[in-house]
Amino acid sequence: MTVGGIIVARGRTYGSPVDGHPGWRPTSAYTAAVTVGILLLATSVLAGRADIALIGIPGLLAATWAHASRPTTPLRADLHEPAGPTAPGELTATLRLAAGPGEGADVVHLRITAPGHRTTHLTLAARPQNHAQRQAQKQAHGQTQDREVPLGLSSVRTGPQQTFTVDLRGSLHGAWEEEPTQVRAATRLVLPGAAPLGRLPLPRRLRGLTGPHSARRLGDGTELRDIHPFTPGDRLRRIDWRTTARRSPELDTLYVRRTYSTAEATAVLVVDSRDEVGPDVRTWRGYGTIRVDEPTSLDLARHAAASVATALVEAGDRVGLEDLARRRRPLPPSAGRRHLRRLVHGLALAHPKDPASAHRVRPPQLPADAIVYLFTTLLDDDPLHLVRIWRAAGHPVVVIDTLPDVHPVIESHLAIAWHIGRLEREDRIAALDGEGIPVVRWAGSQRDQAAVRFEALAHAARRHIPGRTP
């Protein structure tokens, strides 16, 4: 967590301002000055020594001056952040301290906390120290003097994130202090980023009468299929006069150039958000806190899905989204930049639900001739069941493995449990590979090889289409 100048990040937080007069109370220093001064005066009278009274008089005078200048206005504070969802990296906010026109706090003590970050303690002046800033604020806001404190924290996590909680207490001359108050930021939505990808695997059958890809059926397009004699229904602009002159000099038969029609592909992104695990096995059962500088399996799934969706939408294909942990209506396949923003927003909202209600009786219904991109950790057998059902229905499936690289386990019982779980996961991956279902790893150093793997899968799929050449 940082306090000071921070790179601006998009995001929104609703701060809860301090409402009403929180109340002032004397500090222990004020009480000690009064008590010690009275005791010294009483001792000087009883002992008949004036020098003892001279020691206690300064403390009483200071307490009297502090009582005469007691504060009359509370210190107000609220958090402000830029509007809209944010991107992973730097999360920022601005803490605004508003000192009223009357006598108020001159020093404010702050305790700034955020999940996964160390607590920061800070003491600063409640009013701007720069004379030009004070004059500008007086002209803009009357006599109110606001102090803005930039806050920032770093995190690679995506989705709904809890950010800043600020506990503050104002003080005046070290003799008066306010009751502690708290300003809490609302949950921020961090959108996943996208990595550049090349060609992606597509379904064997394309849909629609137009699109960026060449289909296997005849129609208007740019890719030549063959040269064929003219038949009723062929367009005159398709006549190849050179071929006609060479094959039929008497023009008895006209020859036309037949092309493959263009169409668009339909893809459905299925995110397995039933659980969220990090690199530390000790946190898998809810014990401990997942570090904010290490992405979880759901963070990797969001990033991978956003990358695939961006590549498909930019290619002109239709993309839909299905979340296995949610019962709400999925995003139907569509195209366009606006739909891509809806997809990324839906990915950011994906998070685990109650395990008891996460079991699905039936797999998600998919459009005909759609390819499925399944993002899962493969820690149980449910993904294999879904993949086999989709394959039986004729849908090609690509599985993206989103389990992060697991740290070495020290505890013996956890090491044994992870060893068994890892062997079971390897058996599932081997079963998918044996059934001809590709599995692409999206974690650690293997993430950089995902684009190459997708390119190879797209090339292999195009090569095996009947009647087509790679």
Each residue's pLDDT tens digit, 165-191: 999 888 887 778 888 888 888 888 889
The pLDDT of residue 359: 61
Q: What is the mean pLDDT of the chain?
A: 79
Give the contacts of 426 (CB within 8 A, at least 6 positions apart): none
Confidence of residue 402 (pLDDT cuts 50, 70, 90): very high
Residue 271, helix vs strand vs coil: strand
Gap between the Cα atoms of 103 and 24, Å rounded? 12
221 or 86: which carries more pLDDT confidence? 86
Domain-by-domain residue ranges, the chain? 2-21+74-190, 28-68, 213-263, 266-463
| Most confident by average pLDDT, 53-57, 326-330, 450-454 | 450-454
Report the share of the chain in percent with pLDDT over 70.
81
The pLDDT of residue 303: 93
pLDDT reading at 364 higher than 70: yes
pLDDT reading at 15 higher than 90: no
Give the end-to-end CA distance of the chain in Å, rounded to a whole number. Answer: 52
What's the whole-number mean pLDDT along residues 186-201?
A: 87
Q: Is the Cα dihedral 191, 195, 199, 203 positive or negative?
A: negative
Spatial contact of 301 and 275, defined as CB atoms under 8 Å apart: no
Fold held by 2-21+74-190: Immunoglobulin-like (2.60.40)
* pTM for this model (two decimals): 0.76
Spatial contact of 110 and 166, defined as CB atoms under 8 Å apart: yes
Tokens of 324: 């296995």
The pLDDT of residue 152: 85
pLDDT tens, residue by residue, 22-31: 578 888 777 8
pLDDT reading at 9 higher than 50: no
CATH architecture of 266-463: 3-Layer(aba) Sandwich (3.40)
Give the contacts of 210 (CB within 8 A, at least 6 positions apart): 262, 263, 264
Spatial contact of 457 and 201, defined as CB atoms under 8 Å apart: yes
Spatial contact of 278 and 291, defined as CB atoms under 8 Å apart: yes
216 phi and psi, to 5 degrees?
-90, -10
pLDDT reading at 356 higher than 60: no
Nearest in space to 342 (alpha carbons), one of 357, 324, 329: 329
Gap between the Cα atoms of 281 and 134, Å rounded? 53
446 phi and psi, to 5 degrees?
-75, -10
Gap between the Cα atoms of 191 and 157, Å rounded? 9
What's the whole-number mean pLDDT along residues 263-268?
A: 84
Q: Residue 143 is which amino acid? A: Q
Q: Give the number of other Cβ atoms within 10 Å of residue 323's Cβ.
A: 22
